Structure 1
């Protein structure tokens, strides 16, 4: 990039009660140090952020930056998917799980250096009834963890997810689903159904350690109905990704999954990248190789 390159940075000024704005001046300084000029653009909603990103891509802007958490990454990615513009990411949320998979640091100065000097990596995205998701789609216990984490105003950092797990275990709720996985119908009763692209969630927990963002596959992870006192113990290997060691955790791959509730069961809320976005029924598909992301040069070909 030239020493005068202007890079659009999309943020939601109300995110985390305005805390994201505290990172703007540091971001400007870091960009300046790397020969970039930050064009900060405020969005008013997820849809608006997507619209802004799509507009920059239509204008041929090489890289468009998301400043925020995984939700803002998802919104900007939705506007860039299928274009030649790359997604740059500067962390501004709590979990920031997607960048952890791609090897992008939370430090603003390091992230700015990657935007200036990194490489573009082509990755897959998830498509939930037309809504783009970058990391994971989940329901059941995972969704409850996110709900409790979001409601914890006084707990900071990754500890908010530890709190969320503890609360979710105390009041577990089973889900009853009918899943059609690549055309094969199966009934599922259990505590959690997760569908991974990146495989990381909840501030570093491992929904699926084998997930790759460029393999053209959805990792399907199902925590089946277990004896309640065992649930806490089962969550340890589940969150560490030790699926093959526990028979109550199912693990498979798919390219398309139709998700519905069993007859007579209540609709289930669906979370994507940490946000509640839909309810059953819904169809989830993988869209291979449609998004470019600016990553560290040494990590351009394989995420960690």
Structure 2
């Protein structure tokens, strides 16, 4: 009998353009094969999914397994942060940056289920955002503000085209209006006023499906890695873009990096996104919270 005898499986039906329910079926079959008792939940919407997750947590389980992408993981983190219940991931989203960080197989629900049964429980940090408007939000990967949050704002307003293409169209539109944005930041109390294209605050290394925006971030060091890009030149920003997938952009002149436990971020008219999800308008205080999450990963 496995150490994880009872798991709750939370599925986002829309993840990965609707492929999550199929991935969930495959993972659940594998759990049953391995003698694990499964309770499956799927919310009608985010609020309902959260309610079901909180109910499952009260009843007790050996792990909460999330089938989907970083969006549904973000929802689970709001419930699991600072609890003893570990998070298991069966990746079925478009970005899968959490899975990438912790070495969880991405196109193989059975292998991901095996990691949940046989893997180790790792204790890692989470990021925590407190907005001036009262918002409080946990995140696992990266909080972004600036050019990329403007692109996401625009993507969310667009009805066409669909999928990745919509994001690309939004990016081209924002590039045509590229400008430096005034930022006021404080890093553990040290204040900086500067003009930036974007700022990213990483608990882990990647966002946006493998862009290693904070290539040296470590979710066990109690700190956030901050990557700041300052370029008003479209050509240079477009050239910088491919280097982000390798993480080599941090060596370029337009890029500066810092590390801090708590950072305040202010820029008029800019919103914060974390784990790819809308959080709130700036200003915010964002901090690393050591050991806030238990996560299952390969041993």
TM-score of the pair, normalised by structure 2: 0.87
Asked if the contact 2:16/2:68 (under 8 Å) is kept, the reply is no
Secondary structure of residue in 2 paired with 1:206: coil
Aligned length: 291
Secondary structure of residue in 1 paired with 2:9: strand
Instruction: Report the equivalent of 2:227.
Output: 221
Deviates more, 1:252-261 or 1:169-178: 169-178
CA–CA distance in structure 1, aligned partners of residues 235 and 3 of structure 2: 60
1:171-226 deviations in Å (ceiling 9; x for gaps): 43532211111101111212111000112111111111111111111001000134
CA–CA distance in structure 1, aligned partners of residues 78 and 64 of structure 2: 12
CA–CA distance in structure 1, aligned partners of residues 37 and 91 of structure 2: 18
Instruction: Report the equivalent of 1:301.
Output: none
Deviates more, 1:140-149 or 1:114-123: 140-149
Of 287, 290, 293, the match for 1:291: 293
CA–CA distance in structure 1, aligned partners of residues 234 and 28 of structure 2: 50
Instruction: Report the equivalent of 2:79.
Output: 79
Instruction: Report the equivalent of 1:248.
Output: 254
Closer/same/farther in 2, CA of residues 76 and 175 from structure 1, 3 Å limit: same
CA–CA distance in structure 1, aligned partners of residues 227 and 2 of structure 2: 45
Instruction: Report the equivalent of 1:12.
Output: 12
Closer/same/farther in 2, CA of residues 240 and 165 from structure 1, 3 Å limit: farther
- C-alpha displacement of 1:169: 3.3
Instruction: Report the equivalent of 1:104.
Output: 104
Deviates more, 1:39-48 or 1:70-79: 39-48
TM-score of the pair, normalised by structure 1: 0.86
Secondary structure of residue in 2 paired with 1:216: coil
